[in-house]
Amino acid sequence: MSMFSKFLTGMSFRSTTPTFEAGEEIEVYVTELDEESGELVAQVGETRLHFENGEADIVGCRVLAKVESFDDGEHRGRVTHRKTLSQGSF
């Protein structure tokens, strides 16, 4: 085993398309309000999570959300807003 391999042991890189399981609670930043659909959106890498509830004033906030459904192939999901954790920008 080379010195470089030893150095990298146990390290991994984050995916740009993370996946989630229904029922999982996650912390995300609400990144936008989709003008067409009127839905709040959290974008995690290239994965987009659409909120089933929530007010426009949580855009830019870190929130606790529950995953209701997730499509691994499309990297799209539906979540519900549980709690606002912090105000502010990301």
Domains in the chain (CATH in brackets) are 18-86 (2.40.50.140)
- For residue 21, the model assigns a pLDDT of 94
Q: Is 62 exposed, middle or buried (0-12, 13-18, 19+ CB in 10 A)?
A: middle
Rg (CA), the chain: 16
Tens of pLDDT, residues 23-78: 999 999 999 999 898 999 999 999 999 999 989 999 999 999 999 999 999 999 99
Beta carbons of 67 and 22 less than 8 angstroms apart? yes
- For residue 89, the model assigns a pLDDT of 59
- For residue 70, the model assigns a pLDDT of 97
pLDDT at residue 10 is higher than 70: no
State the sign of the Cα–Cα–Cα–Cα dihedral 12, 88, 82, 42: negative
